[in-house]
Structure 1
Amino acid sequence: MATTEELKKDVEELRLLLEQAHRPKVKDLLAIDIRKLETEIIHKLEQQKAENVEVDGYKESPSTKIAVSQARYTVDVKEYAWDQSDKFMKIYATIEGVESVSEGNITCDFTNRSFKLSVKDVKNKDYQVYVSNLFEDIEPKDSYYKVKTNTVLIMLKKKQTGKTWAYVTEKENQSKAKETKKPKYDESKDPSDSLMDLMKQMYEDGDDEMKRTIQKAWVESREKQGHGI
C-alpha cells in the first residue's frame, strides 16, 4: 500500500502533466485522478491523526487541520467577439463569473502584435486568451482591459489612429485570401482541359496532403491508360 509521501509525489507528477496537457478531455481525466489521490491522502492523514502517529516528522493533534488544494486546469478561450473604433480594436472574451475574481488574479500582457489575457481561479478553472499576429500594430502601453459581467473587454490601442482593421489577425486575412483563390471549373472550355486546369490549380494551392492525393490520382490514371483501360 502506498505511503502518504508516495501519494504526494504522485499528485505532484500528475500536476506537472496537467500543466502540459492541452486537450480538455485529458485535463479532466488528470484532474479526476489528482482529486482521487488527494482524497486518499486525506483519509490516510485522518487515520494517522486518529491514531496519534507521527506524520511528516511531527505528531498530529486532534485540532490539526488538513488543507488540500483543488486541482485547476487552464481553459484556452479561442472564440471571441470584436468591434472597433478609430482608436481601439475591442475584443470581448466571455468568461462566466469573471466579475467575482479578485483583481490580482487577472493580468493582460501586450506586445506590438499580440496580447495574452490570464484569469485565475474562476469557479476552480483558469482561463487564458492568447492572440498573436494581430492585423496591425498596437500601442502596448496604451492598451488595457475592463472586467464586465461574464466578460473581459480587451482594449487594443491602434498604433495608426483612424485606420480600419479588416480582421483581428493576419491569419484571418491569409485564410480569406486562400478562399478567394479557390479553383473554379471553366464551363466554356473543353471538359478535359478545364478539369486539367482545375487539378493544376488545386495542386499549386493545396497543402502537402492535397498534393500527395493529386499525384496518386495522376499516377493511377496513367497506369490505367497504359493498360488500355
Structure 2
Amino acid sequence: MSEAKMKELRSDIEELNELLKQAKRKRAQDLLSLEIRKLETEWLNLKESAQSSQAGTSPAPSTAATSQPKRYQIKLNGYGWDQSDKYIKVFVTLKDVQSLPKEQVYCKLTDKSMELHVENLDNKDYLLVINKLLDSINVEESHWKQKTDMVVIFLAKARPNIKWSHMTELEKKFEDQRNSKLKPATPDMDKADPQESIMSLMKNMYETGDDEMKRMISKAWYEGQHKKKSDTLDL
C-alpha cells in the first residue's frame, strides 16, 4: 500500500513540477511550489516509514549501522518578495523553522545572488538559490531573520531608493520579450508608399481587433474593391 501511495505521490510531484515550469504568474508559481513541498514531505515521510518497517523485521543492526539517518536536500522554488527604499525582502515559508538554532539557518550572498540554507529541519535540508538579481546588493548590510514558519532575508540595495521591477534579470527579460510580441508593429510612414502603409495598418488592425472591428474592415475592403471594378468599367 505504501509503495503504491509513494508512486502516486511521485507522479503528482512530477506533474506539478511540469506545471510550475509553464506557470507565468508569480502567485500561481508560489501556490504550485507550496503544494510540491507538501507532497515531497509526505513522500519522504512514507519512505522513511517504509524503511523503518523493513528495519523492524530484519535482524538487529550492528553498532556501526546505527548511525544518523540520511538527510535529504529539498530545493525550494517558491518565495515571496517585497521592497522598501533600502531593502529587497524575500519571504520563504518553512514550517517550524523558528525552532532551529541560528547556525542551521544561514545565507550565502554575492552582489548579484543569494542562497538560503536551512539544515536538519525534520531531518531534511532546504536550499533556495536566486541567481542574477536584477540589481546589485550590499552584502555587508544584508541580513536574515527566523520567524514563525518563515525566514525573511533582507537584501540591502546597493542603490537605495531605486525600485526593482523584477527580482531577477531573467524575469525582466522574459517580460520584455512578451511585451514586445504583444506590441503591434507600426509602419514607417515616411519611407513606405502611402497606399502600402494604409494596407499594412488595416491588416494589423484586422489581426488585433475584435469581431466588430474585423467586420467593419471587411466591409470597407469589399466596398473599396467593388468601387475599383466600377471605375474600370466606366472607363
Greater helix share, structure number:
2
SS of the residue 1:154 aligns to = strand
**Paired letter, 2:99:** S
Q: Matches of residues 11-30 of structure 1 in structure 2 within 5 Å?
A: none
**Alpha carbons of 1:184 and 1:138: their partners in 2 closer, same or farther (altered >3 Å)?**
closer
1:88 equivalent in structure 2: 87
**Alpha carbons of 1:56 and 1:138: their partners in 2 closer, same or farther (altered >3 Å)?**
closer
1:168 equivalent in structure 2: 167
Residue 78 in 1 paired to residue 41 in 2?
A: no
Counterpart Cα distance in 1 of 2:143 and 2:161: 19
Identify the range of structure 1 (146-155 vs 68-77) with the bigger mean alpha-carbon deviation.
68-77
Tell me the percent identity: 25
Counterpart Cα distance in 2 of 1:150 and 1:31: 19
Structure 1 residue 75: deviation in Å? 2.1
Structure 1 residue 95: deviation in Å? 1.0
1:104 equivalent in structure 2: 103
Structure 1 residue 80: deviation in Å? 1.2
Provide Cα deviations, 1:150-196, integer angstroms capped at 9, x if missing partner.
1100010111111111111111110110111125678x7479x76xx
Ranges in structure 1 where 5+ consecutive residues have no aligned partner: 1-22, 49-54, 58-65, 199-229
2:133 equivalent in structure 1: 134
Structure 1 residue 76: deviation in Å? 1.9
Identify the range of structure 1 (92-101 vs 122-131) with the bigger mean alpha-carbon deviation.
122-131
1:205 equivalent in structure 2: none
Structure 1 residue 125: deviation in Å? 2.3
Number of residue pairs aligned between Structure 1 and Structure 2: 161
SS of the residue 1:181 aligns to = helix
- RMSD of aligned alpha carbons: 3.8
Query: Under a length normalisation based on structure 2, what TM-score does the superposition of the two structures give?
Result: 0.55
